[in-house]
Amino acid sequence: MHSRKLILMRHAKADYPLGVADHDRPLAARGHREAPSAGAWMVENDLIPDYILCSDALRARSTCAWVLSELGEKGPTPYVDSRIYGAGVAQLCSIINEVPDTVSNLLVIGHQPVLQELALRLASVESDEEAVYELAMNYPTLGTSVLETSLPYSHLDSRDARVTHFVAPRPR
């Protein structure tokens, strides 16, 4: 069986400038400082994505750029999908269902609360209890859930993946 990893990452800390639409909010200084840590964590844990789906919101795209800076040549060209911003859990799941079966490690960079809701929806009974508890309690900026499944992405719906990790990487 082919094992797949689904990595659900919330964008880094965003700023709230006056007069700027939510979609166009940039990363805060803290977000720029911390975002590379998420990519470094992925490299350290051998979780290099071969496909990236990224929200088209500025803060998500900026987070993606910082993650890619750490992945270096191993990082794929991200697919920026405008449907991720504002998506509900069923819509985000259906977007993931479109990912080709040839993808082994999928990184989705998006927003709260949908990432937390999707991780909880997909978490199987074989999931790491501590990781599920942590992600259920709080999904902070750069919160990253790692789920494993032997199913094709097109079959993911509910209780289909084992949560193995939940972290919010920060600089050391």
pLDDT in tens, the chain (172 residues): 689 999 999 999 999 999 999 999 999 999 999 999 999 999 999 999 999 999 999 999 999 999 999 999 999 999 999 999 999 999 999 999 999 999 999 999 999 999 999 999 999 999 999 999 999 999 999 999 999 999 999 999 999 999 999 999 998 7
Domain 4-111+126-158 in this protein, CATH class: alpha beta
Whole-model pTM?
Answer: 0.97
Tokens of 135: 């992600």
d(CA 63, CA 12): 6
Domain segments of the chain: what residues?
4-111+126-158
Distance of alpha carbon 153 from the chain centroid = 15
Residues 132/31, Cβ–Cβ less than 8 Å: no
Q: What is the DSSP string of 20-53?
A: --GGGPPBPHHHHHHHHHHHHHHHHTT---SEEE
